[in-house]
Amino acid sequence: MNTGTIKFFNETKGFGFVKDNASGQEYFVHVSGLVDKVKENDEVTFDLQEGRKGLNAVNVKLA
């Protein structure tokens, strides 16, 4: 389980990015990977899963 911050999330389009606190890397997150409703600057926990274009954040929950 990773921890991070929502850097961007577009509710209309249903996607955004989460920045990993440990590595500083940013990962794509789709609305289908959310457990809780999120907005920019929310602290979250998440898992990583291989997607079509690299690693995606999934099981994203408010911390």
Residue 49 sits in a domain whose CATH number is 2.40.50.140
Interval 4-63: pLDDT, tens: 999 999 999 999 999 999 999 999 999 999 999 999 999 999 999 999 999 999 999 999
pTM of the shown model: 0.94
Domain count within the chain: 1
4 exposed, middle or buried (CB, 10 Å; 0-12, 13-18, 19+)? buried
Per-residue burial over 27-59, b = 16 or more CB atoms within 10 Å of its CB, e = otherwise: bbbeeebbeeebeeebebbbebeeeeeeebbbe
- Note down the domain range covering 53: 2-62
